[in-house]
Amino acid sequence: MQLIYEKSVPGRRAGTVPAYAGLARPAVPAGLGRAAAPRLPEIAEPDLVRHITALANRNFGIDTGFYPLGSCTMKHNPRLNERAANLPGFANIHPAQSEESVQGALELMWRLQEILREVTGLDAVSLQPAAGSQGELTGLLVMRAYFADRGEDELRREIVIPDTAHGTNPASVVMAGYEVVGIKTDARGNVDVDDLRAKVGPRTAGLMITNPSTLGLFEENIHEIEQIMHGAGALMYYDGANLNAVCGVSRPGDMGFDVVHINLHKTFSQPHGGGGPGGGPIAVRGLLDPFLPKPQIVRDGDGAGALYRLDHDRPKSIGKVRGWTGPFGVFVRSYAFIRRYGPGLREMSEAAVLNANYMLARLRDAYDVPYDRLCMHEFVISARTLKKEHGVTATDVAKRLMDFGYHPPTVYFPLVVPEALMIEPTESEAKETLDAFCDAMLEIAREAASDPAAAKAAPVSRPVRRLDEVLAAKKLVLRYAFADHPDLAAERAAASA
Amino acid sequence: MSFLSLTDADRAAMLATVGVETVEELFRDIPEAVRLRAPLALDPALTEAQLAAHLAELASRNTHTGDELSFLGYGIYDHYSPAVIDVLLARGEFLTAYTPYQPEMSQGVLQAIFEYQTAICELTGLAVSNASGYDGCTVAADACFLAAHHTGRSKVVVAETLHPMVREVVATFAPGFGMEVVTVPASGGVVDGAAWAAACEGAACAIFQTPNVFGILEDGPALAAAANACEALPVAHVDLLSLGVLEAPGAYGCAIAIGEGQSAGIPMSFGGPHFGFMAARADLVRRMPGRIVGETLDSESKRAFVLTLQTREQHIRREKATSNMTTNQTLIALAGWVTLCWYGPQGLRELGELLMGLSAEVAVKAKAAGYEVAFPGTTTFKEVALRVPGGGNAEEVTRKARALGVNPGVPLGHDFAGLAYVLLVAVTEKRTPDDIAELAEVIGQCS
Amino acid sequence: MAAAESYPDGLLYHPEHDWALIEGDEAVLGITWFAQDALGEIVHYEAPDVGAAIGMGEAYGEVESVKAVSDLISPLSGVVLEVNEKATGEPETINEEPYGAGWLIRVRLTDPTEIARLLSPETYRAHVAAE
């Protein structure tokens, strides 16, 4: 398929710009004017539409089929939420408008804050962070401000993180100016409590974990972990990536966590958009409230006379972590999603956990299962034996699944399980979908023994075959270079000639 | 519940396969002490129709651009959003797709991002673009993190004419990066050149905005040259819609170009979601944060696209990553890319000329109503700062004007001490000369 | 593509899978077969600057494959005299000839007593077998 630049023909255009007779044409000061026009595509609207459509036809979303990416929570995205976000009263409002002219927006945000407080079991919420990892960094900065306020920031320089942690956790820790201390995982897939006890002390600012973990397992020793951390005067951070397992079942605040981030694009159905936008609000225990980003959305009065406003008067706040009050369009969608469930969010989590356990039960004999426990909303299996006996790796299984019409699960994460496949069905899937996927996985395992070449050659049915990722890393072609654009196919042919 | 398909029969069959009696047993690993035994205290579930009515009611209590004639800007603008972006946004293959880690399933998104990256590079005149950052404020913090690692220095220089919100976000993150921030004051509405040159000594990077927060064109080449002379990375915070008439930052010595992409046809949406963009010099590619798409071949030598240089990112490099960023703003950035394609180079140039003409028109008409420009002798792009006659309070003017159906602009007194008499008026291609005449008429009455 | 597994005599080794060839008061350093095999095809070698001082057990650079990045741990303390341009320009050389054309840096040793702390070929081979 051609790039849009390759379809460009000089003189064509789609959009028009108004012109007014007699309007001034101020000159751009010398030295500041554009010398060479940017080479944007010159294309008329019908061909632009066709190009976008052709691209869509080469992609795959939840709307297309089953998408069991572990830790991503690929659930149904209701279309009412799109309609709502596009209402003029939500889409066409400016963040600098006076507060009395946006009471509906402020109320929606306030209500979302209240919902998140209830779901997490904590006291105060900031909706500002733009994504989960920004929520992590914000939460860490809030923790730092708390300790600085108590004169302990110089002393407490470490955050403890399990070796199963999502890569964003150590990255966020470093960006917050802390040091990472790693904690081992025990044979049951829990945080190794003895290792934790040995590594936590006066230099510890906090613990950062996901619960259930990235292995899809609930921390059985959460009480003991809480005792160790709070006993050392440290705080507990909850990575909310796996919140879909426990809504209405167990709350991070009740588990002892002091700071939580929520991924609105995971648990609460903000569409993933091919990589964003998302939302990463944080909820905190009351003692951390003063340090939250500003402004906060507050309500004065209640009932019909309630007034919503932005509170900038927060002297201990860490400041702003992004522009304005956060991704409002994301709040509309998440709020709408939650209002369809109400307290029934619990049924959502129960269905997610049942779906995952069902799949695990169907797959456990054909694949290696590293931890012999019930899982929560996701589980990890391994292609270790398939690799050892037939040379078929987790990558090969993933590519072969594409030919069966599925998006593969997450592979090679978490790092503690070799040849890992992490599968999260979510609550959105019907039993027949789960059965068909499991049938495909069992077929692939059988085929690995009888015909390993099939998996190695996969995929055969997608717009492209397996890609040369080494070439992409060695020869960096990161934009279209027009007349100077390299011909990679010709170079490869010449090299092998 | 319409989003769940489990029937009682499904549930029974599945529980039997798992080997437990009840759904409750699936949660047996959760200690009782942390089990929630009461229902969540949330409002009862709504049907889709009830929800639609509720949301419409909330929306009706917001004044939107259809309700008043608005000249609000200050970083977010009421630009026209071409209908063709709906072609992209409505497709489930774009809307509901994940990050393209499995390239064979995701050639659509990957190629679109590659085309977006190309557009950003063309506009900024720099060699490499990422797939987007969160917004125009956080990309400035990203640039600081990059500069710290590239230069080994710990000072960030920012112009006072860089939007205060951008500076505030930089100030939030800089201490964690081990950096201190130095602000160079403005003089006559632009950054003071001598003070800038002095401040650049020993800096990791120096960030300026053009057009700046007052809508004024800065002398980008001079500012970049001063930073380069001190081996500080010059960072230009720019408006994509201005780059059809204004020179590309890469062409006048900038190492990095960043900005807020909302102007490229993205609805204002009370501040988000929008997208930040970042482009950089070729030698900085391995330090870039965020996703980058590259071109490669498949096993049959067909052209294909893939996320590349992933070793920069958190899922591989973890604590040494160039950023913790994972989810960014892909769908919104792609909508911005569609808008840029819709305008094309000729359209973008005409748009830039129109916006400059309209902002000049505001100055002319406002002067007749008694409002002088706050910073004489400067050239504006799409915003102009006006002085309320007699040094009156700009906020008072806006209050009165809104009662007459015109929202005349953002009063600058909150963010700029001593500028309470200044009103920042923004124009877009949706504002006509007649609208501007009405603006002048109304603010003339309100001063 | 990659060489067959081997850990030659005549070199000394560090447990982080690096080797050193001692030549008087200089040494040539590189990574072992085990290290290149674990990484997969190397796509980038981030070398130190000539003249840089490096310490025993410290990272002096990085090698990357598509899916992984690894610090290069120096087995000895020294000052960098030379960087292998072939390794930076064609990083796959490190996979193909980890002990020959895929050498990484040459250093002038600053503490020759450290040589005694390195592993012999036999000890290193046992170390690898246990991994």
What DSSP string describes A215-260?
Answer: TS---TTHHHHHHHHHHTT-EEEEEETTGGGTTTTB-HHHHT-SEE
Contact with chain B for residue C53, Cβ under 8 A = no
Tokens of B434: 């007649």
CB contact, 8 Å: A330 with chain B?
yes
Q: How far apart are CA A374 and CA B28, in angstroms?
A: 9
- Which residues in chain A touch residue B181, judged by CB atoms under 8 angstroms apart? none
Alpha carbon A63 to chain centroid distance? 18
Judge whether B308 and A476 are in contact, CB under 8 Å: yes
Quote the distance between the C-alpha of residue B83 and its chain's center.
20
Residues in A touching C65 (Cβ below 8 Å) = 470
Q: Which chain B residue's Cα is nearest to A323?
A: B137
Query: What is the spatial distance between Cα A216 and Cα A456, in angstroms, rounded to a whole number?
Result: 28
Q: Secondary structure of chain C: what % helix, strand, coil (to 5)?
A: 25, 35, 40
Is the CB of residue A341 less than 8 Å away from at least one CB of chain C?
no
Best A34, A147, A373 member to test B by mutation, with max B CBs in 10 Å, is: A34
CB contact (8 A) between residue C69 and residue B310:
no
Q: Which pLDDT belongs to residue B316?
A: 80
10-residue averages of pLDDT along chain B (447 residues): 93 98 96 95 98 98 98 98 97 97 97 98 98 97 96 97 98 93 97 98 98 98 98 98 98 98 98 97 95 97 95 81 88 98 98 98 97 97 98 96 98 96 98 98 95
Judged by a CB distance cut-off of 8 A, whether residue C68 touches chain A is: no
SS3 A466: coil
CA distance A441 to A20: 64
Which contiguous run of DSSP H or E holds residue C19? Answer: strand C18-23
Rounded to a whole number of angstroms, the CA Rg of chain C reads 13
Answer yes or no: do A473 and C66 touch at CB < 8 A.
Answer: yes
Which 3 state secondary structure label does DSSP give A376? Answer: coil
pLDDT at res. C1: 54
Phi and psi at residue B346, to the nearest 5°: -70, -45
* Superfamily of structural domain A347-469: Aspartate Aminotransferase, domain 1 (3.90.1150.10)
Amino acid at position A284, single letter: V
How far is the alpha carbon of B186 from chain C, nearest alpha carbon, in Å? Answer: 40
DSSP for A94-122 reads -TTS-GGGBHHHHHHHHHHHHHHHHHHT-
> Which helix H or strand E contains A474, and what residues bound it?
helix A469-474
Q: A474–C43: do the CB atoms touch at under 8 Å? A: yes
| Domain B85-337 in this protein, CATH class | alpha beta
All residues of chain C having their beta carbon less than 8 Å from the beta carbon of residue B286 are 44, 46
- Structure tokens that stand for A192 in this block: 């190794």
Nearest residue of A to residue C41, measured between CA atoms: A470
- Over its C-alpha atoms, chain B yields an Rg (Å, rounded) of 25
User: Distance (Å, rounded) from C-alpha C108 to C-alpha C105?
Assistant: 10
Amino acid at B82: P
Cβ atoms B329, B264 nearer than 8 A:
no
CB contact under 8 A, B260 and A323: yes
| Residue B132: count of CB within 10 angstroms of its CB | 32
Judging contacts by C-beta atoms under 8 Å, the chain C residues touching residue B311 are 44, 64-69
Q: Up-side HSE of residue C59: CA atoms within 13 Å toward CB?
A: 8
Q: C41 to chain B: which residues are within 8 Å by CB?
A: none
* Residues 6 or more apart whose Cβ sits within 8 Å of residue C122: none
Residues in A touching C66 (Cβ below 8 Å): 469-470, 472-473
3 state SS of A195: helix
Determine whether the interchain pair A470/C41 forms a contact, defined as Cβ–Cβ distance below 8 Å. yes
Neighbour subunits, A (≥3 Cβ pairs < 8 A): B, C
Chains that touch B (3 or more CB pairs under 8 A): A, C
Question: Token pair 């001082």 is at which residue?
Answer: C53
pLDDT at B421: 97
**Of residues C33, C31, C25, the one with CA closest to residue C5:** C33
In B, minimum Cα distance to A171 occurs at B319
CB within 8 Å: C64 and A473: yes
Residue A340 CB contacts under 8 Å (≥ 6 apart), including other chains: A78, B1, B2, B3, B45, B46, B47, B48, B51
**In the predicted model, is pLDDT for residue C2 greater than 70?**
no
pLDDT at C131: 74
The rounded distance, in Å, linking the Cα atoms of A122 and A257 is 9
User: How is chain A split among helix, strand and coil, in percent rounded to 5?
Assistant: 40, 10, 45
Mean pLDDT, range C87-101, rounded to an integer: 95
Residues of B in contact with C45 (CB under 8 A): none
At residue C68, the pLDDT reads: 84
- E-only strand ranges, A289-412: 296-300, 307-311, 379-382, 410-411
Report the amino acid identity of residue A250: S
Q: Determine contact: A473 vs chain C, CB below 8 A.
A: yes
CB B341 within 8 A of CB A43: yes
DSSP one-letter code for A208: E
C touches which chains (3+ CB pairs under 8 A)? A, B
Domain layout of chain A by residue ranges: 82-343, 347-469
CA distances (Å), origin A224, targets A185, A192, A193, A219? 15, 11, 8, 10
Point out the residues of chain A with pLDDT beneath 70. Answer: none
Q: What is the mean pLDDT of chain C?
A: 93
**Quick one: which of A152, A462, A168, A426 has its CA closest to B323?**
A168
Q: Are strands A235-240 and A204-210 parallel, antiparallel or unpaired?
A: parallel
Mutate to test the interface with C, among B102, B311, B312, B315 (most CBs of C within 10 A): B311
Q: Can you identify the CATH homologous superfamily of domain B69-80+346-446?
A: Aspartate Aminotransferase, domain 1 (3.90.1150.10)
* Residue to test with chain A: of B104, B338, B378, most A Cβ within 10 A: B104
Strand partners, C53: C79
Distance CA C17, CA C127 (A): 10
Q: Do B317 and C66 touch (CB under 8 A)?
A: no
**CB-count exposure of residue A203 (10 Å: 0-12, 13-18, 19+):** middle
Query: Alpha-carbon distance B341 to B410, whole Å?
Result: 31
Mutual angle of helices B164-173 and B138-151, in 10-degree steps: 50
Give strand pairing partners of A467.
B298
In a domain, C5, yes or no: no
User: How close is the nearest chain C Cα to the Cα of A394, in Å?
Assistant: 14
**CATH match of A82-343 with 3.40.50.150:** no
Q: Which residues in chain C are closer than 8 Å to A469, comparing Cβ atoms?
A: 66
Q: What is the pLDDT of residues B65-104, one digit of tens each?
A: 999 999 999 999 999 999 999 999 999 999 999 999 999 9
Q: CA-CA distance, B195 to B266, in Å (whole number)?
A: 36
Measured CA distances, B239 to B47, B217, B242, B266 (Å)? 43, 11, 5, 13
> How close B313 comes to chain A (CA, Å)?
9
Q: How far is A245 from chain B (nearest CA, A)?
A: 10
Dihedral angle, C-alpha B428, B432, B434, B436, nearest 10 °: 20
The closest of C88, C93, B297 to A486, measured between CA atoms, is B297
A325–B313: do the CB atoms touch at under 8 Å? Answer: no
CATH number, domain with residue C70: 2.40.50.100
Check CB contact under 8 Å for B317 and C69.
Answer: yes
Query: What is the 3-state secondary structure of B291-347?
Result: CCEEEEEECCCCEEEEECCHHHCHHHHHHHCCCCCCCCCHHHHHHHHHHHHHHHHHH
Pairing assessment for the beta strands B383-387 and B372-373 based on DSSP bridges: antiparallel
* Rg for chain A, CA atoms, rounded: 26
Residue at token pair 């590189």? C30
ipTM over 0.95? The verdict is yes
**Percentage above 90 pLDDT, chain C:** 83
| Spatial distance between the Cα atoms of B285 and A489, rounded to a whole number of angstroms | 24
Domains in chain C: how many in total?
1
Instruction: Mark yes or no for CB contact A32/B117 under 8 Å.
Output: no
CB of A80 less than 8 A from some CB of B: yes
